[in-house]
Amino acid sequence: MPSSSQHLDNIPSTPGKFKMDHKSHRSKWHPHLAKLTLYTFVFFLGLIFVFFFKSPSTTTSSSSSSSSPSSYRSSSSSSDLSRRSLKTSSWGGPNWEKRVKSSARIRTRNGFCVLVTGAAGFIGTHVSVALKRRGDGVLGLDNFNDYYDPSLKRARQALLERTGIFIVEGDINDDVLLKKLFELITFTHVMHLAAQAGVRYAMQNPNSYIQSNIAGFVNLLETCKNANPQPAIVWASSSSVYGLNTKVPFSEKDRTDQPASLYAATKKAGEEIAHTYNHIYGLSLTGLRFFTVYGPWGRPDMAYFFFTRDILKGKPIPVFEGVNHGTVARDFTYVDDIVKGCLGALDTAEKSTGSGGKKRGPAQLRVFNLGNTSPVPVSDLVGILERLLKVKANRVVTKLPRNGDVQFTHANISYAKREFGYKPMTDLQTGLKKFVRWYVSYYGSGKKSDH
Ligand SMILES: *[C@@H]1O[C@H](CO)[C@@H](O)[C@H](O)[C@H]1NC(C)=O
């Protein structure tokens, strides 16, 4: 597979494994008459709606003509969610559809057509670019919420646009939008990376974790299970599911029933929900337990990121220590290695076996650790940053709060290695060097970098 990008070397791929099927199956599953009746009914319902409520927030029927742009507003009235989730998003219209189709167009033989949720996110951006560069069709989906500075997401979006990737602005909870996308495009795969991340933010906004990581995931799975053909799904779980597990390294078979944060609990719930949809509907599902992913275009809420910012500003940085001055360490994993893992998981994903919401046979269900297998104490992380930034950090040693963060993470990656040759190549020093280079070029190295 041709690839001009150096960070995409050695990606295992299985050309020809996934046969494309562009035929339309729609009419096979419902008698024409029933569908016609339904559509007529929906059409008249729509007409009545349009006549009585000329409000722009009216949801247009997804089966109606696409010539007019539709605007969708959540029916959810929970005020807690209104700030960030399910904001009004606009989509639809011929120009929008053209961009969707162009972005999703496969440009290589046996290429995939992938819907990437959370495409304006950190990992979503990197994975989208990697897929696009090797010739796959990629369509992004992102709600651009303001959990962290949305301008960074907009900058990533601009980066993707230059690669020919369109990001649909919308929410995974918007089932009308999802249905529309699956009507327009035959996705072979879904790379589901949209989520509410962060461990401590759950105490401020617990609902957003339920909304994104559970309700949104279920909504996406519902759409996928109804799609024909059903796509294979690879999605982001988290190393945090190991919770209070103390056996190291963490292996996929270890217990994950003691989550230490609501974030972890929702990711664990996702793994169980994945099991259910695999069991009932024959969806092919692969969960990836990411271990502290870092790199250029990273998330500002993560320690390595705000340490860099605060060291440059001369602000004190909290360096956590565990009980009895124990070391707090993380299995930091460089984003290019994670991207290879994501592509490996996609390339080895088997087809879903169901169709039209019905299971036809057993389907693949997997979960992989994607880590670096080399935990580094957080104090070492600070030391590396000091050397790279040439600024002495103002460290404030603080007890690790008991509100979600675990003391130690260490991935056993032998399963991912066996299944798709996953082999992390970047040590923390090398990866942070690339991160700092990006950070300084993006924000500058001076005090002006207030973001
Ligand atoms: C790593 O996981 C594999 C299963 O994938 C297991 O056989 C092996 O014992 C584990 N290694 C350690 C050191 O726990």
Least confident of 5-19, 191-205, 351-365, 371-385: 5-19
What average pLDDT does range 282-302 have in this prediction? 98
Catalytic residue among 148, 201, 242, 263: 263
Active site residue 263: yes
User: pTM of the full predicted structure?
Assistant: 0.82
Nearest alpha carbon, ligand 1 atom 3: 414
pLDDT at 400: 85
pLDDT the model gives residue 52: 45
**Residue 82: its pLDDT value, please?**
42
Expressed in angstroms and rounded, the spacing between residue 412 Cα and the centre of ligand 1 is 6
> Residue 170 — φ and ψ, nearest 5°?
-175, 175
Mean pLDDT, the chain, rounded, equals 85
Beta-strand runs (E) in 112-251: 113-117, 137-142, 166-169, 189-192, 232-238
Cα 39 to Cα 4, 175, 186, 214: the distances in Å are 47, 18, 21, 31
CA distance 61 to 44: 11
Q: What is the CATH number of domain 79-293+333-372+410-425?
A: 3.40.50.720
| Nearest atom, ligand 1, residue 247 CA | 14
The predicted structure's pLDDT at residue 148? 97
pLDDT at 378: 94
Tell me, what's the pLDDT at 65?
34
Highest mean pLDDT among 71-85, 392-406, 412-426: 412-426
Nearest to 297 by CA among 423, 394, 435: 435
Residue 40: predicted pLDDT: 56
Report helix, strand or coil for 120: coil
- At residue 88, the pLDDT reads 53
The four Cα atoms 226, 227, 233, 235 give a dihedral, to 10 degrees, of: -60
User: How confident is the model over 206-259, as pLDDT tens digits?
Assistant: 999 999 999 999 999 999 999 999 999 999 999 999 999 889 999 999 999 999
Tokens 């230490």 label which residue?
Answer: 260
> Quick one: pLDDT at residue 8?
32
- Beta-carbon contacts of 120 under 8 Å, excluding residues fewer than 6 positions away, are 140, 142, 144, 153, 154, 156, 157, 160, 167
pLDDT surpassing 50 at residue 83:
no
Model confidence at 397, pLDDT cuts 50, 70, 90, reads very high
Q: How far apart are CA 77 and CA 74, in angstroms?
A: 8
What proportion of the chain, given as a percentage, has pLDDT over 90? 72
pLDDT band at 39 (very low <50, low <70, confident <90, very high): low
Q: Which ligand 1 atom sits nearest the alpha carbon of residue 253? A: 4
Arithmetic mean of pLDDT, 298-324: 95
Q: Does 360 have pLDDT greater than 60?
A: yes
Give the pLDDT of residue 241: 97
- Looking from the CA of residue 414, the nearest atom of ligand 1 is 5
pLDDT at 78 over 90: no
With a pLDDT cut of 70, the percent of the chain lying above it is 79
- Cβ atoms of 17 and 347 closer than 8 Å: yes
Q: How far apart are CA 237 and CA 221, in angstroms?
A: 15
365 Cα: distance to centroid of ligand 1 (angstroms): 19
Rounded Cα–Cα distance for residues 294 and 301 (Å) = 11
Q: Does the pLDDT of residue 109 top 80, yes or no?
A: yes
Cα of 50 vs centre of ligand 1, distance in Å, is: 60
Q: Give the residues surrounding ligand 1 with Cβ less than 6 Å away.
A: 249, 251, 412, 414-415
